[in-house]
């Protein structure tokens, strides 16, 4: 479905952020992209969804294809129409508008009225809480409710691929579990998911395949089982340590971490 090959991205013609990364998302699967802040996860999403220009970024090498169509450097509207929707970090809902108005805005490029109605029914079924608050002003909703609205708005485009950027960020553990279950249900309904997360436990519990990024490079990929058993993933993303090792992430030097990833 989605293929990213040897992608390099530069910001402001100076800063090399992505250093030849590659990943694939098969149809109907959940793929997790893990990494700490600054690893390049959000830049990867911007490259796929055509939003690099907004942030003074440019693809200098590599290719992105979606169902064998080259979408490298295509505009956001074209990419959305091809079937890729995204939920940005921080939700980015329209705070002054109601739940219904946010959802209608999400369906802007979906010109088939029947498909819009079907997408709306799907969202209301997935998020009964939104069904009860259709006239509520989005900005007054809780963080968890806003995250549900952001996901629902993206689903109004009836996407083939849904990209979620840090959907668990800032949410209480109970709400993280709720969002996790919703992502699984969305996937079971036939929508592929690229899940960009720091919460490795949540992401790998539902993913079919995972990638780990570090400073703009892919340092590891494999099945969730493989990644969960890896000592570096356990230490840096799950907080598990062998007896006698340093237990504070901030105490582990970056160069040492890089050496271990690449060995």
Each residue's pLDDT tens digit, 211-230: 999 989 999 999 999 999 88
- pTM > 0.85: yes or no: yes
Residue 20 belongs to a domain: yes
* Domain tally, the chain: 1
Domain-located, residue 140: no
Task: Determine, yes or no, domain membership for 106.
Answer: no
Q: Which domain holds residue 67?
A: 2-83+160-167+190-262
Q: What is the pLDDT of residue 255?
A: 41
CA geometry: angle 105, 57, 163, nearest 5 deg? 45
In a domain, 102, yes or no: no
Q: Which stretches of the chain drop beneath a pLDDT of 50? A: 242-255
Query: Is residue 97 in a domain?
Result: no
CATH code of the domain in which 11 resides: 3.40.50.300
Residue 125, domain member (yes or no): no
Rounded to whole angstroms, what are the CA distances from 163 to 68, 110, 155, 197, 261? 18, 18, 11, 11, 26
**Strand order from edge to edge, sheet including 69-70:** 15-25, 2-11, 57-66, 69-70
């Amino acid at each position: 479905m989605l293929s990213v090959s040897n992608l390099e991205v530069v910001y402001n013609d100076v800063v090399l952020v992505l250093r030849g990364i590659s990943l694939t998302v098969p149809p109907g699967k959940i793929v997790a992209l893990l990494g700490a802040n600054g690893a390049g996860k959000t830049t990867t999403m911007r490259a796929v969804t055509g939003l690099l220009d907004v942030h003074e970024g440019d693809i200098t090498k590599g290719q992105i294809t979606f169902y064998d169509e080259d979408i490298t450097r295509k505009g956001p509207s074209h990419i959305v129409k091809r079937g890729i929707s995204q939920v940005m970090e921080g939700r980015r809902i329209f705070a002054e508008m109601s739940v219904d108005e946010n959802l209608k805005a999400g369906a802007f490029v979906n010109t088939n009225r029947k498909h819009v109605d079907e997408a709306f029914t799907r969202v209301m079924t997935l998020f009964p809480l939104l069904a009860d608050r259709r006239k509520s002003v989005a900005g007054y909703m809780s963080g968890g409710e806003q995250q549900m609205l952001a996901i629902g708005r993206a689903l109004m485009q009836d996407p083939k691929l849904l990209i979620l950027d840090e959907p668990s960020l800032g949410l209480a553990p109970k709400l993280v579990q709720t969002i996790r279950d919703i992502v699984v249900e969305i996937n079971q309904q036939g929508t592929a998911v690229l899940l960009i997360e720091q919460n490795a436990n949540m992401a790998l519990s539902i993913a079919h395949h995972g990638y780990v990024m570090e400073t703009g490079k892919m340092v590891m990929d494999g099945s969730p089982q493989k990644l969960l058993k890896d000592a570096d993933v356990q230490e840096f993303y799950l907080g598990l340590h062998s007896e006698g090792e340093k237990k504070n992430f901030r105490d582990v030097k970056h160069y040492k971490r890089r050496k271990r990833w690449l060995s």
